[in-house]
Structure 1
Amino acid sequence: MIPEHVVDLSRLQFAATALYHFLFVPLTLGMVWLLVIMETVYVMTGKAVWKDMTRFWGKLFGINFALGVTTGITLEFQFGTNWAYYSHYVGDIFGAPLAIEGLMAFFLESTFIGLFFFGWDRLSRPQHLLVTTLMAVGTNLSALWILIANGWMQNPVGAEFSYQTMRMEMTDFWAVVFNPDAQAKFVHTVSAGYVTGAMFVLSVSSWYLLRGRDVEFAKRSFRVASAFGLASVLSVIVLGDESGYTVGEAQQTKMAAIEAMWETEPAPASFNVVAGINEAAQKNDWSVEIPYVMGLIGTRSLSKEIPGIREIKARNRERIQRGIVAVVALEALRTHRNDPVALATFERHKADLGFGLLLRKYVGDVRQATAEIIERAVDDTVPRVTPMFWSFRVMVGLGLLMLALFALSFWTTLKGGCAGRPWLLKWALWMLPAPWLACELGWFVAEYGRQPWTIYGVLPTHLSVSTISVNSLYGSLAGFVGFYTALLVVEVYLMVKFARQGPGSLGTGRYQSEPVHA
């Protein structure tokens, strides 16, 4: 058995690097489509201001893109260094989308981003617009394959365990690609990225307008960002409902934890807006509820129940008992591959193999698991409710605030402009961190809510890690956090520097803060 602190440190290291990386990804996903919109208007109208908008915001996009790629590379290496058994166990399935993503990220994206920056004087207007569009498509396709891999971790379809190779093997590639969880995560995640890009442009444009500089440039940028942001945040809300439905179908434990639903309620279940969560007693001391809403989101019916945590634990207790039988049969097959009795027993119980493996956290031989150990494993199958409950609600609250902001911003652009509404511009400026915070909380809910599994219901997290010394983990964790923090400081410095310079940094002679040439 691998010591628990090794597992915790490995999880912390991956979480830290992933959350750092995702500070850069959403802005890349969102800004690239804003560049497409701006350049499309330039090609259609021929007005130089739209070209300047594309080039200026593209410069900020390029800074963010470069640092996003830098922080993303180390994530894939960690599967081999910190999660070696995980890579061995599921590499046949998980490796395929990551390999395709690598080809798209390092060939498709890199090619077109180079043409975007260096092709302005070498390509015609339509050709350069095509390059910008393909850059946007490549960026989003890269995200698609990452989220297909992650969606499979949440809902492992199109694969099954082979007792002969002792690994998960792919049985249907297209089932993996069109996994409902993966598709829902993709559209929800990229829409959140679009919101992030729109908020960035809206906030920086508001800063220009508050200072009365480059007003026409800022007004146009504000208008594009408000319209794109409104459409995007509406998409996030609608697609979030779809994501909630897929979670309700595939991960009922996560759904129950998000809603602090301790008991199975009569259908349709109510939605807890806020609640006083008492995890020790497994109940809510008080709650403010909206009737029917949770049932409609989670099941899309008025008659289907959403199981509560107590019922889920009872089911999991039975699955752990059956899983013990599966583990024992698998060990017999490892000794005698052609044992017909062991094979028949394993085939009957292999769906619960992962639940039997949960006991390996506490005992080497699952046959020696006591009632107390089994109960500890049962408790492990449900993540802590309090962080799940409140993280989800802060994320939703931020989403509603952004919806209100984008709606008001878009309405003001239709009613004669935003420059005369400093309260709105200040609100937009102060809301700049909101989409990043919402995105990070969304990933926390998705990943922490999957625990104790790396592959939901299949491979427990404590069995997935490599055998690494604690000192190595502390050293690499400190190194990653230090290096990534330095990159984040560089990112913020460069983004603030060029945002302060504004479109004058282009040196066209049409804007304030133009560079002085000797």
Structure 2
Amino acid sequence: MDLINPTVVDLSRFQFALTALYHFMFVPLTLGLTFMLAAMETVYVVTGRKIYKEMTQFWGKLFGINFAIGVATGITMEFEFGTNWSMYSRFFGDMFGTPLAIEGLMAFFMESTFVGLMFFGWDRLSKQAHLAVTYLVALGSNLSALWILIANASMNVPEGAHFDPDTMRMQFDSFVHVVFNPDAQSKFVHTSVAGYVSAALFVMGISAFYILRGQHKQFAARSFRMAALFGIISTVAVITLGDVLGRMDYEKQPTKIAAIEGLWHTSKPPYEPWILAALPDDAKQENHFEIGVPFVLTPLITHDFNTPITGLHELEDAAGPRIQSGIEAVSALRRYGETHQQADLDVFRAHEADMGFGFLATRHAPGQDVTTLSAEALPQVIEATKPDILPNVFVTFWAFRLMVFLALYFFALFAISSYVSLKNRLERNRLLLRLCLWSIPLPILATEFGWITAEAGRQPWTVFNRLPTFLSASTHSVSYMLFSLAGFAVLYSIFIAAELYLMFKFARLGPEAHDTPQTSPDHLHLGGAASTPAAAH
């Protein structure tokens, strides 16, 4: 494999990160709002109260804006795999493309079809039929996330495929192993529930805005209460499922979990502290200004008090034999490609599991060719390659902590909001309402930090332990990459501007006027002096 200009690789990575982070701003809200709409409409169908229909229609309008922008950003991102990551697409296209194709056929078309019925079918369908359509939209959006995360999980824990030395590709083997990849299941549930948290705080924050302005009080109070209860359940679930995902990383991607915890040396159970804050130094491979809680790290990661967690130094040292074995695999693979001798194939098969480490060593070999290394040069190349197996610890460490700290903040906010709402004291707690309003963007940031943790922690691999990132990009020129990067930045900035303009416009307009007198059965007591029309005035 020929090495690609490092600047092109960096620009390709930056462009994909930019487009993925932009796209992921819309995904969580779509995932969560669909089930919140289904819950609101269920209450409407069961109770017959018109206010819940109005709630479903209003929040559905904001969902529609977000859904449309999300689709536009997602389509452009998928084209990037072919344009900017052609080597990755060639090497891993069967594994990655199959789930994405199913996502388009099964989930995206299903979701898109029923979205139209959900918006325009209120007067054309019965209550029960329209409710079924809303649930199908929710199912479709979450199935879409499932198939995308199955594709992503195959990159992190490649299962259900084998490498074919004749085609130089990962060949699809087992649909069952791909679909039921444990990493995929953990990621799907964790990501989906994170979307529910985003939707809950979105609804709660806008409802708080109306209560602060004295508008749409019944509508806002009911929406606030449903969102707060939905949010606290979702936050508990996302924290619990995050623990499951961390356990998966501990078993399958030890370098990622060590980077997440800033663990440079193997832990000493049970005393090892969980580091709350530090400044990891990737150059010196140590932490500065550590603040930790002792006796927490070992049970948190291993679920017992006695199992040590391998540190980054030890993982780096352990990579030496794998790099040497990988160089033998790459050398045998090249000979087999030239001669097709069974003996070369046998040597390759014996070292195939370490092939990716041989690819990783190519940029340190003279002429980027590990197949011609002399006995004297081999140890030098191995030593130069060993640090490359580590991700960027500073980025991974802090992305994870910011995600966790925000999750704990959401739990406290939802818990307090639920209590205040159930006690009918919302209008008395204006500081809490303002906090909810200004917290609307935070779940999106938390999911972005989660994505950064997952993807930065997987480096230096696009396909973990199989294909390094620096070999995965297309052979573009730097000028082409700068041009396309600028184009994507402008295009996606327009999308975000359109999303914010429409969201602010329709959120400020609010739902249709529907506040009813105090004697109405739909009246919801808000507490405090503002509980009567005269006092509210």
TM-score range, shorter chain: over 0.9
Query: How far apart are 1:480 and its partner, in Å?
Result: 0.5
Residue in structure 2 matching 1:318, options 316, 321, 334? 321
Contact 1:265 1:306 in 2 (8 A): yes
**Counterpart in the other structure of 2:312:** 309
**Partner letter of residue 250 of structure 1?**
K
Query: How far apart are 1:375 and its partner, in Å?
Result: 2.7
**Partner letter of residue 259 of structure 2?**
A
How many corresponding residue pairs? 508
> Whole-Å Cα distance in 2 between the matches of residues 478 and 343 of structure 1?
45
**Counterpart in the other structure of 1:296:** 299
**Counterpart in the other structure of 2:509:** 501
> Whole-Å Cα distance in 1 between the matches of residues 287 and 72 of structure 2?
44
- The 5 Å alignment of 1:39-438 reads 39-268=41-270, 269-337=272-340, 339-363=341-365, 364-366=368-370, 367-368=372-373, 370-438=378-446
SS at match of 2:426: coil
**Partner letter of residue 318 of structure 2?**
R
> Whole-Å Cα distance in 1 between the matches of residues 200 and 424 of structure 2?
20
Question: After superposition, what is the alpha-carbon deviation per residue over 1:44-95, rounded to whole angstroms, capped at 9, x for unaligned?
Answer: 1111110000000000000000000000001111111111111111111111
Question: After superposition, what is the alpha-carbon deviation per residue over 1:81-119, rounded to whole angstroms, capped at 9, x for unaligned?
Answer: 111111111111111100011113442001110000010
SS at match of 1:122: coil
Question: After superposition, what is the alpha-carbon deviation per residue over 1:428-449, rounded to whole angstroms, capped at 9, x for unaligned?
Answer: 1111111011111110111011
> Whole-Å Cα distance in 2 between the matches of residues 252 and 104 of structure 1?
34
Q: 1:419 to 1:159 in 2, by over 3 A?
A: same
> Whole-Å Cα distance in 1 between the matches of residues 345 and 90 of structure 2?
23
> Whole-Å Cα distance in 1 between the matches of residues 10 and 259 of structure 2?
21
Contact 2:203 2:224 in 1 (8 A): yes
Query: How far apart are 1:226 and its partner, in Å?
Result: 0.1
Query: How far apart are 1:465 and its partner, in Å?
Result: 0.9
Question: After superposition, what is the alpha-carbon deviation per residue over 1:176-227, rounded to whole angstroms, capped at 9, x for unaligned?
Answer: 1111111111111011100000010000000000111110000000000000
SS at match of 1:151: helix
Query: How far apart are 1:334 and its partner, in Å?
Result: 0.5
Contact 2:273 2:294 in 1 (8 A): yes
Say if 2:19 is the partner of 1:17. yes
- The 5 Å alignment of 1:456-471 reads 456-471=464-479
Query: How far apart are 1:277 and its partner, in Å?
Result: 2.7
Contact 1:188 1:240 in 2 (8 A): yes
Moved more, 273-282 or 52-61: 273-282
Query: How far apart are 1:509 and its partner, in Å?
Result: 9.2
**Partner letter of residue 21 of structure 1?**
H
SS at match of 2:265: coil
SS at match of 2:266: coil
Query: How far apart are 1:508 and its partner, in Å?
Result: 6.9
Contact 2:216 2:514 in 1 (8 A): no
Alignment root-mean-square deviation, CA: 1.5
**Partner letter of residue 423 of structure 1?**
L
Contact 1:203 1:425 in 2 (8 A): yes
**Partner letter of residue 369 of structure 2?**
D
Residue in structure 2 matching 1:453, options 461, 480, 484? 461
Contact 1:208 1:215 in 2 (8 A): yes
SS at match of 2:427: coil
> Whole-Å Cα distance in 2 between the matches of residues 372 and 419 of structure 1?
69
Contact 2:329 2:351 in 1 (8 A): yes
- Between the aligned residues of both structures, percent identity stands at 52
**Partner letter of residue 156 of structure 2?**
Q
Contact 1:244 1:297 in 2 (8 A): no
Question: After superposition, what is the alpha-carbon deviation per residue over 1:107-164, rounded to whole angstroms, capped at 9, x for unaligned?
Answer: 2001110000010000000000000001000000000000000011111112121112
Say if 2:485 is the partner of 1:477. yes
**Counterpart in the other structure of 1:516:** none
> Whole-Å Cα distance in 1 between the matches of residues 353 and 360 of structure 2?
14
> Whole-Å Cα distance in 1 between the matches of residues 352 and 364 of structure 2?
21
Q: What is the TM-score of this pair, normalised by structure 1?
A: 0.95
Contact 1:219 1:417 in 2 (8 A): no
